[in-house]
Amino acid sequence: MHTIAAAALLATAHALQLPWKPAAVAAPPSAPAAIAADDHRRAVIGGHNWLTHAPPSYFARDKLTVKGPRANTDVGAPVDATRPLVKLGDVAVGSWSCSEGGWLSPAPRTSTEWFIMLEGEGSVDEEDGTRHRFAAGDVVVLPRGWSGRWDVQKDLHKVWAVHTHADDGRSTSPVIATPSQMSDGDIYKAGDTAVRVWTRQPGPVEVRDKATTESIYVLSGEMFVTNQDGSAVRCVAGDTVALPRGWTGRYDVASAVKAVSVVVGKETTSAAAPAPSHAGGKRRPIVGGNWKCNPATASSLDELCRNFDGVAPYLDKCDVYVCPSNLHVALVKDNFTPGIHVAPQNCNFKGCGAYTGEMSVDQIQDLGLGWVLIGHSERRGEFGLPTPAESNQLMATKLQYILDQGLNCVFCIGEPLSIRQKGIQAVLAECADQLTDIVPILRQLSDKSRVVIAYEPVWAIGTGEAATPEQAQETHKGIRDWIAANVDRATADAIRIQYGGSANAGNAPELSSFPDIDGFLVGGASLKPEIADIVKAIAEAKV
Ligand code: PEP
């Protein structure tokens, strides 16, 4: 499952035992400092009151220290190596690797150990000979009091957390959870130790005086974890984060994070997951910038990214994403204020393989991205050239694939001028036509914030002639009513509908004042600093 990349940077910060502090935070508490592209890959060692973070490179096998011959070896000549990360009171976190072989562990354990297998295969036996096998991706708990034997069947590597505690009479039998068993909830709970899988949806979570010590291993998604002083780290799949009891700070989840964590201590009310974007009947506004096939030179990218710096003060109220051209996605993805999403302008519907010219969700996720845009009218046959138009059925197939893989999606619809000229009923019939194939998908979707509809009248795109606010509101409301009738009321109330088509800093405030307009998809103006004013307009209108 997780292959640990070798090398990369090692933390000078670790050697010095200093907390690393990124450059000063320019804007909101939700957006920690501009974290340089490579800075977030080094380990940040905090210790008491600070978060501790290790990217996979910190635990790369060539960074572990060989421990010397093992006692009690009776199979092969296993060589094991370890690297501690941090010790927080009675909880220690680190990594361990071991080559093939086996040995007896007769002395009962005085601590409970949890680990996630990164690579390899192994087993532990109980004293009565019961064997528990585990492989890459599995989570294993060896409770205090367990004794028996260890066998490494295939070179293994793991990240562990150990809790030293008094005998509290818990069962000594090992517990194993395979990846398919990792749905939200406790894998193990005894005394003050819980091993649990959790998912947090995008948004901020404030934590004050944390009641427990928690060691988190990120399975997927992206979040920023910020200390009280504003120092922050970006956490993605494969990263380990340890938070001490008493910690105060915040998580800013950029794309839904799934993690397995070891929680030690008496839990009061745990930090609540961020409210879904439609909590309390309110929809969180969302603005996207579509750079289309721009700019012509990579050297212009930095300037375009900097245009988005001005949105930072609004990121706690408004979601913001940017759709660079496909060639530029990887070049810019770490060059935005944290919290801004990068969303490719298209993806395929099959995954990796023999699909020349395509991009898969796996590749998008591997870059740490959580969103993708599909169905733009310029791909639905509006180029004015005889290129194959992407059909409604293809859009539905793509959407299902995107959601199944855990990505979120901006789904574009809209009518050409010839239909608008026939009046609103014709417009709504065209929108309904473009949405019909995704009705079952929307019905099944539990978190409605994962799909955003971008309503973009084709005649308004790039023409400088936006729909009037009344036209846009009427159409958005019509789309929402159609969803209520054909999907369900809850989806209609929760789903966000963006307006696109010559939106700019001048028309955004008035458009934002209409109740069914939840944001904008912006083309031309997203290449200019005025994008910040567009975000400001909707963020302030929807508070
Ligand atoms: C778009 O391309 O989605 C778009 C809305 O472009 P513009 O804002 O330039 O009309």
Mean pLDDT of all residues in 328-336 = 95
Mean pLDDT of all residues in 436-461 = 94
pLDDT category of residue 33 using cuts at 50, 70 and 90: very low
**CB-defined site of ligand 1, < 6 Å:** 290, 292, 456, 461-462, 500-503, 521-525
Is pLDDT at 22 greater than 60 in this prediction?
no
Tell me if the domain spanning 3-58+193-264 has CATH number 1.10.10.10: no
The per-residue pLDDT for 382 is: 60
The per-residue pLDDT for 387 is: 67
Quick check: bond before 179 cis, omega within 30? Answer: no
For the ranges 15-24, 48-57, 263-272, 485-494, the maximum mean pLDDT occurs at 485-494
Contact 208, 183 (CB under 8 A): no
Q: How far apart are CA 267 and CA 193, in angstroms?
A: 10
Ligand 1 center from residue 238 Cα (angstroms): 37
CATH of 60-186 given 1.10.10.10, 2.60.120.10, 3.40.50.1110, 3.80.30.20: 2.60.120.10
Which residues belong to the active site?
Answer: 376, 456
Mean pLDDT of all residues in 113-137 = 96
Contact 330, 367 (CB under 8 A): yes
Share of the chain above pLDDT 90, in %: 66
Is pLDDT at 195 greater than 90 in this prediction?
yes
Ligand 1 center from residue 498 Cα (angstroms): 12
Mean pLDDT of all residues in 143-161 = 96
DSSP code at position 153: E
Residues 250-309: tens digit of each pLDDT: 888 988 899 999 999 876 533 333 333 343 458 999 999 999 999 999 999 999 999 999
Both tokens of residue 381?
């046959």
Protein fold of 284-541: TIM Barrel (3.20.20)
Q: Where are the domains of the chain?
A: 3-58+193-264, 60-186, 284-541
Is pLDDT at 17 greater than 60 in this prediction?
no
Is pLDDT at 149 greater than 70 in this prediction?
yes
pLDDT category of residue 30 using cuts at 50, 70 and 90: very low
Q: How far apart are CA 427 and CA 431, in angstroms?
A: 6
Environment class of 356 (CB within 10 Å of its CB; exposed 0-12, middle 13-18, buried 19+) = exposed
The per-residue pLDDT for 539 is: 96
Identify which has the larger pLDDT, 4 or 373.
373
Atom of ligand 1 nearest to the CA of 461: 10
Angle between helices 392-404 and 424-436 (to 10 degrees): 50
Which range (23-32, 56-65, 202-211, 527-536) has the least confidence?
23-32
Share of the chain above pLDDT 70, in %: 87
Mean pLDDT of all residues in 67-89 = 90
Both tokens of residue 464?
């400088």
The per-residue pLDDT for 85 is: 87
The domains spanning 3-58+193-264 and 284-541 adopt the same CATH topology: no
The per-residue pLDDT for 248 is: 84
Identify which has the larger pLDDT, 538 or 389.
538
Atom of ligand 1 nearest to the CA of 412: 3
Which range (98-102, 208-212, 308-312) has the least confidence?
208-212
The per-residue pLDDT for 392 is: 93
Q: Whose CA is nearest to atom 7 of ligand 1?
A: 523
Atom of ligand 1 nearest to the CA of 456: 5
